[in-house]
Amino acid sequence: MPDTLYIVVPCYNEEAVLPETSSRLKAELLRLIAAGLAGEDSRIMFVDDGSKDRTWELIEAYHTSDPIFSAVKLSRNRGHQNALLAGLMTAMQRADVTISMDSDLQDDIGCLDEFMRQYYDGCDIVYGVREDRAKDTAFKRRSAQAFYRMLKMFGVNVVYNHADYRLMSKRALEGLASFREVNLFLRGLVPLIGYKTGTVKYSRGERFAGESKYPLKKMLGLAWDGVSSFSIRPMRLITIMSIIVLAVSLGLMIYSLVMAILPGRTVPGWSVLTISIWLLGGLQLLALGVIGEYIGKIYSEIKDRPKYIIETILDQ
């Protein structure tokens, strides 16, 4: 008997794209059920991340008209990663396997059958990996490449060109639930679970409607979350930089003292000013900034506040 599949789709202000997304996903899920790749109790689970438009109204209507649609409504906006986690943890109690994807139809839903085949072949986690970035703008392509290179440089283990289009078995979700981080970066957490994994390559399409919910500011924030949540190398870089600056400062100190001894070669006070600026100025500000970021994360973690609060669950 085929296993029960839940397709988890986080949504934030997606009323423009939801009618098309719900229609296409329903047709695809019914096809999987007919092909014997998903059980009769399989569902499409929309997760409303505190939307301010008609997103939840539409989701309620879909659920009322057809029980193949289930829904989770968060009490307020908590961000994409928390909304996705809320959906996955809710689906874990109901499904044998989940596939998470964005609501904008950029992820190729025609690959769902390949995800399920690899699952039945024994994979607990299957990553959706983009074949290329030919459709991206030059800036988007370069910034994405810089993002992955930076994560690799700082020792963060992520799958290249993978976002949050992935399959996870119930066992893998139970492993994910054991991680207690408040500062979430699921692309870094999921590889830590282990188990047998696979990949499905696909071509990412254009957004069907609406606007991207990940502008440059949020992408930079996500990149920093990935680095600071999984690596202390920025702290170590401060130590290395301090040694370099100290060496440069010692050289400048010797140079300044020589200039001070030679008559008419320097202005009184110039030596002390030069040494102090090089030694203390930029290094202290940089160090305080990086340390402050880590302290801020520690502050969030020790409070142990809930990552999300679910207001409503619609599931029959």
| 3-state secondary structure (DSSP) of residue 198 | strand
Q: Would you call 86 exposed, middle or buried from its count of C-beta atoms within 10 A (0-12, 13-18, 19+)?
A: buried
| 3-state secondary structure (DSSP) of residue 28 | helix
**Bridge-partner residues for 97, per DSSP?**
5, 169
- Tell me which of 238 and 37 has the higher pLDDT: 37
- Using pLDDT thresholds of 50, 70 and 90, give the confidence band for residue 204: confident
**Bridge-partner residues for 168, per DSSP?**
98, 125
Instruction: List, for residues 95-104, the tens digit of each pLDDT value.
Output: 999 999 888 8
Q: What is the pLDDT of residue 213?
A: 52
Instruction: List, for residues 265-278, the tens digit of each pLDDT value.
Output: 555 666 666 666 76
Q: What is the pLDDT of residue 24?
A: 92
DSSP assignment string, 272-312: HHHHHIIIIIHHHHHHHHHHHHHHHHHHHHHHT--S--EEE
Average pLDDT of the residues in 125-137: 75
**Range of lowest pLDDT (63-67, 258-262, 264-268, 289-293):** 264-268
Q: Over pLDDT 70: what percentage of the chain?
A: 65
**Paired tokens of 113:** 């059958």
Residue of 144, 145, 97, 92 whose CA lies nearest to 118: 97
Q: What is the pLDDT of residue 215?
A: 56
Q: Which helix (H) or strand (E) holds 43?
A: strand 43-48
